[in-house]
Amino acid sequence: MPSDFISNEEIIQMARRRLEQGVWDYLVGGAESETTMRRNRLAFDRLAFRPRVLRNISSIDPSTTFLGQKLRIPVVLAPVGSLQVFDPEGGIAATKAAAEFGISHVLSSVTEPSLEGVMGSVDHPKMFQLYVHGDWGWIEDIVGRVVEAGYKSLCVTVDVQYYSRRERVMVERYVQPTRRVPRDPKYAASLTWELMDKIRELAGLPFMIKGIATVEDALLAVEHKVDVIWVSNHGGRQLDHGLGSMDVLPEIVEAVGDKADIIVDGGVQRGSDVLKAIALGAKAVAIGKLQAWGLSANGTAGVVSMLEILEDEIVSAMGLLGITSMDQMTHDYVCRTDAVVTDPHEMSSWVNMPESRIP
């Protein structure tokens, strides 16, 4: 495999060549008409930069701190189910990449290998994401394992009360591994704030809720002592016809203030996207598709290459904006404008590579 990728465009091209159609569709597709997924991208495209000049930008530090851990760039690897379809090592490959580069990995509860196997693969802080697929006894067991293994925080995903119609994979008749094991849908459908309280108290770890898309729910999360509000619409893979994550981020940040940290995902494809999210008040962003593309292209090394390219884009943009640290990246550096790409898709950040041209 090549180790000299110069653009994430090349990583995606390599990933496409290596993935069968069903796996590719699982990775890049959204729900139904994919309107929410496209709005995720449009929300970034409708933000423009306001650069400042004649500042000393000879030394730039793109790092930040999230939940007590220093991140080389304000990015975490999002929880992605079935990572093993992108690389045989699955979650271990992603965790190794996070450790090598210097960020954090949020391990999905529906990827292989086991949470203990991933934790034991490399000595580096990790976070764990939970889908609730069982009763209270089941929850006690898996949360106990998470705590015992030494994960630094617990994230519960709450926007999967019903599994969506992801028609790209449905048309292809592809079923990802997480859907091949029958699960009783009543457990996800019966999640409540009261149950979140019980899980938070049981874990005794910094607690994140992933899937917040409105101010109303963000304020409820604060009331229920959530440490991190994860603004997300599941990458446009659950409820279709929603707003883009970046469209709702500013009002959530304003409502929450300093009562909780905020992380955002959905449509992050470039270093400039990371900076836009920070400018609007996010502490960090989470990346899913980029992570899986890197794994598909070249395993752990592919993810590290992807992150290095992302870092280079971030540092370049910071210098051209006239800032040297993330705490300087405020809303003063962005403004609303019209989107140039009017029909965004999963490749729209790489305008020289429409999907039809991917080998």
List residues with catalytic annotation. Answer: 234
- The two tokens of residue 304 are 């590290």
245: left (phi over 0), alpha (psi -120 to 50) or beta: alpha
Q: What is the 3-state secondary structure (H, E, C) of 309-349?
A: HHHHHHHHHHHHHCCCEHHHCCHHHEEECCCCCCCCCCCCC
Bridge partner list, 334:
49
The residue assigned the tokens 């495209």 is 45
70 contact partners, CB below 8 Å, separation of at least 6: 63, 64, 102
The identity of residue 275, as a single letter, is: L
User: Within the chain, what is the greatest distance between any pair of CA atoms?
Assistant: 61
Please calculate the CA angle 177-294-240 and round it to the nearest 5 degrees: 55
Taking Cα atoms as reference points, which of 265, 252, 189 lies closest to residue 226? 252
The identity of residue 112, as a single letter, is: E
